[in-house]
């Protein structure tokens, strides 16, 4: 017998012996082992920890009492979220206009310079009125809100409030057959749905994890916030005086978010009763002590890592989108630009859900990144109606309302569609990587899209019925 064979034999013997002993020890092995380890841990801890005074500090006990109180628990949660929205809207308004003015001024100046230098008009159009304009919109619309929203949210996270949210929300998730930690993954989805999908790894049960993955899309990510914020500010808050306006805008964002939570619960319920039937898994959630947030570090990291990162992603997506729009708008077939042909073809479908062909075209172009939906719509519209100066929300309102007939119904339809439609391609790819399943990736992509069409269609029908 060779060495290798001997070794193999030896291994076989070992495994057989282990199997026999395993059976003799019956089911109590794990219990005995864990108890032994903890017994030892307790003994060591006793000998090296000198404890005095109360175990929990003072104020955090009281804060927890408010945060989990039957009367104040949920209102506090809404209040905090609404406050974040309000600060974001109120704070972002002025810087957004300032940045827009600067960047669009530069567009005019650069285009003028190109003209003087005798550059061909198509080059000026492509570069400045196409690519640059797309970038300018993305930067001015996205940068200020994100630079406010992310740090605020990160401070909340650093403080330790999110587990309390999951703690309170679990009752809802339990009723729909999902896991309370899904609330934590949703909180991550506020930043980015791809990150939200990855964070579902904290849920052990594959069934509950899949539910969390599929429904994460119903939390609006940073790519969709700008769309929602803009619609809220220029349509819903517009009739109100300035001070009240931002409160109304914040309230409408809150309503959209709550509707997203509602859809999450409905879809989770539907899934756990059909495709993903099963029993609830173990629920354990650690509630860590509150910690003083590190304000400066939070500002720094959320600005560099999240804001700049997301903005950069938007920029590299917006530039090609701007170029595509410009090409579509300047390639003429039968006297009409190609973009018009496509938009016209999509128009009937768009009208059914309260939107139009251009918006649907924008959503197709924006599959890689939702950030560019609004810029794409603007570029497509403004091309059709000659180049107008779009240096303020007022000018944008003029373009959408007066020239393309948008109403508050269009705005709400766009908000609903933005909230519910399919995830962006990055998120879809992440879902594929996490599930390794074509079936679940397809469900996670097309289920939201279908729901978006249905909800939007119903919304339009209800509006038509009453008006």
Partner 1 sequence: MPITLAELDRGQRAHIVELRLHGLERRRLMDLGFTPGTEVEVAMKAASGDPIAFVVRNTQIALRKQQAENIIVEPIS
Partner 2 sequence: MAGCQCAQATTCSSHGNLIRLGVNIRDFDYLIALAGNPNTGKTTLFNALSGLRQHTGNWPGKTVVRSEGAFRHNGYKYKVVDLPGTYSLLSTSEDEEIARDFILFGNPDCVVVVVDATALERNLNLVLQVLEITDRVVVALNLMDEAERKGMFVDARKLAKELGVPVVPMVAREGKGTDHLLQTVQDLVTGNLRTQPRRIELDPHIEEAVQQLLPHLKNLYPNLSNHRWLAMRLLEGDPSIRRAILTDSLAQTESPLAPQKEEDMSELEAALEV
Is 290 among the residues that bind partner 2 (CB under 8 A)?
A: yes
Sign of CA dihedral 454, 275, 366, 318: positive
Cβ 78 to partner 2, closest distance in Å? 20
Site for partner 1 in 161-180 (CB under 8 A): 167-168, 170-171, 174, 180
Q: Which of 3, 48, 296, 335 binds partner 2 (CB under 8 A)?
A: 48
Determine the Cα angle at 254 with ends 252 and 255, to 5°: 65
Nearest CA among 192, 168, 177 for reference residue 265? 177
Q: 114 or 159, CB closer to partner 1? A: 159
Partner touching 168 among partner 2, partner 1, none, CB below 5 to 8 Å by kind? partner 1
Q: How many chain residues interact with partner 2 (CB under 8 A)? A: 77
Is 275 among the residues that bind partner 2 (CB under 8 A)?
A: yes
Cβ 43 to partner 2, closest distance in Å? 8
8 A C-beta contact, residue 230 and residue 89: no
Which runs of consecutive H residues, i.e. helices, occur in 117-161? 121-124, 133-159
Q: 182 or 376, CB closer to partner 1? A: 182
Site for partner 2 in 373-432 (CB under 8 A): none
Phi, psi of 224 (to 5 degrees): -100, -15
DSSP label of 288: P
User: Can you state the angle between helices 58-67 and 73-116, rounded to 10 degrees?
Assistant: 90
| CA 77/CA 59 separation, integer angstroms | 18
Tell me the window of 52-60, 88-96, 101-109, 346-354 that interacts with partner 2 (CB under 8 A). 52-60
Q: Which of 130, 134, 151, 160 binds partner 2 (CB under 8 A)?
A: 160
Q: Which of 2, 5, 47, 467 binds partner 2 (CB under 8 A)?
A: 47
| CA 132/CA 83 separation, integer angstroms | 34
Q: Which of 114, 159, 283, 309 binds partner 1 (CB under 8 A)?
A: 283
Q: Which of 4, 242, 282, 333 binds partner 1 (CB under 8 A)?
A: 282
44: buried, middle or exposed (CB in 10 Å: 19+, 13-18, 0-12)?
exposed
Interface residue list for partner 1 (CB under 8 A)? 30-31, 34-35, 38, 55-56, 64-65, 68-70, 73-74, 167-168, 170-171, 174, 180, 280-289
């Amino acid at each position: 017998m060779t060495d290798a064979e001997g070794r193999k034999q030896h291994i076989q013997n070992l495994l057989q012996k282990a199997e026999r002993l395993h059976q003799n020890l019956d089911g109590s092995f794990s219990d005995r082992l864990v108890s032994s380890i903890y017994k030892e841990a307790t003994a060591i801890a006793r000998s090296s920890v000198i404890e005095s005074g109360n175990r929990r500090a003072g104020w955090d006990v009281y804060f927890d009492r408010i945060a989990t109180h039957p009367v104040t628990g949920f209102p506090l949660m809404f209040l905090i979220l609404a406050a974040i929205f309000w600060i974001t809207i109120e704070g972002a308004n002025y810087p957004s206009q300032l940045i827009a003015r600067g960047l669009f001024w530069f567009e005019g100046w650069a285009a003028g310079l190109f003209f003087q230098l005798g550059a061909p008009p198509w080059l000026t159009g492509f570069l400045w009125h196409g690519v640059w304009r797309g970038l300018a919109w993305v930067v001015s619309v996205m940068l200020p809100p994100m630079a406010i929203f992310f740090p605020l949210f990160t401070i909340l996270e650093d403080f330790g409030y999110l587990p309390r949210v999951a703690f309170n929300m679990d009752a809802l998730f339990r009723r729909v057959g999902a896991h309370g930690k899904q609330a934590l993954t949703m909180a991550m989805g506020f930043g980015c749905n791809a990150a939200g999908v990855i964070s579902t790894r904290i849920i052990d049960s594959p069934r509950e994890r899949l539910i969390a993955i599929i429904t994460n899309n119903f939390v609006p990510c940073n790519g969709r916030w700008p769309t929602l914020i803009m619609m809220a500010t220029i349509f819903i808050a517009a009739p109100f005086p300035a001070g009240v306006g931002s409160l109304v805008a914040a309230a409408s964002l809150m309503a959209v978010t709550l509707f997203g939570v509602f859809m999450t619960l409905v879809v989770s319920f539907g899934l756990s009763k059909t495709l993903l039937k099963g029993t609830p898994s173990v629920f354990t959630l650690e509630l860590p002590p509150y910690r003083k947030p590190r304000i400066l570090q939070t500002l720094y990291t959320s600005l560099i890592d999240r804001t700049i990162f997301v903005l950069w992603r938007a920029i590299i997506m917006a530039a090609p989108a701007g170029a595509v729009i410009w090409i579509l708008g300047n390639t003429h077939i039968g006297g009409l630009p190609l973009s018009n042909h496509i938009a016209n073809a999509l128009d009937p479908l768009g009208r059914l859900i309260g939107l139009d062909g251009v918006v649907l075209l924008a959503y197709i172009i924006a599959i890689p990144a939702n950030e560019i939906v609004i810029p794409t719509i603007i570029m497509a519209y403004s091309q059709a109606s000659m180049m107008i100066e779009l240096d303020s929300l007022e000018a944008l309102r003029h373009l959408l309302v007066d020239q393309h007939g948008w109403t508050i119904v269009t705005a709400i339809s766009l908000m609903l569609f933005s909230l519910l439609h399919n995830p962006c391609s990055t998120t879809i790819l992440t879902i594929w990587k996490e599930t390794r399943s074509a079936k679940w990736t397809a469900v996670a992509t097309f289920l939201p899209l279908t729901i978006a069409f249905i909800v939007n269609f119903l919304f339009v029908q209800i509006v038509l019925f009453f008006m």
